[in-house]
Amino acid sequence: MINNEWLKRDDYRYFYTIPTRWNDNDQFGHLNNVIYYRLYEAVIIQYVTEAGIDWMQDRVIPFTAESQCRFLRAVSFPDVLDVGLRVTKVGRSSVNYALALFRQGEDEAAAIGHWVYVYVDRETQRPQPIPEAIRQAMQRDF
């Protein structure tokens, strides 16, 4: 669930900078809603990759189980965005993240979000315990 208190840059522990693209804008001149989710997913993938998961080889991989976005104010090309991530809960097989989009140089979020990954067996797609290396990285940043 989205925490409305996490609106400031200092509320997040990990950032990934992503420039917007011309084709990210919709006909109204701001980022299309689906782009916000693409940016949220990008920061999570970068974070989990840096924590040690090998998306192409590992037996246990994360699936998106839930996502939300609250739009606070429009962003558009050519904005460069810092996408913030904070681990909010580490369960047996799932991790919850708080997310936010910030224009570079701004401390107030333009959008905030929530994302849940459930770790599953690549073949059976059944929930599995979070791999220990990933768990340690998530708990370090919790």
Tell me if 11 sits within 8 A of 102, measured CB to CB.
no
Q: Within a domain: residue 52? A: yes
Q: Which domain holds residue 57?
A: 9-140
pTM for this predicted structure: 0.90
- Cα separation of the two ends of the chain: 16
Q: Which of 100, 95, 56, 60 is nearest to 82 (CA)?
A: 100
Residue range 87-132, pLDDT digits in tens: 999 999 999 999 999 999 999 999 999 999 999 999 999 999 998 8
Domain at 73, CATH number: 3.10.129.10
pLDDT(4) > 80: no
Asked if residue 54 is part of any domain, the answer here is yes
The answer, yes or no, to whether residue 3 has pLDDT greater than 80, is no
Residue 116 lies in a domain: yes
- The pLDDT value given to residue 142: 64
Domain count, the chain: 1
Assess if residue 23 is contained within a domain.
yes
For residue 32, being part of any structural domain is answered with yes
The tokens for 110 are 């333009």
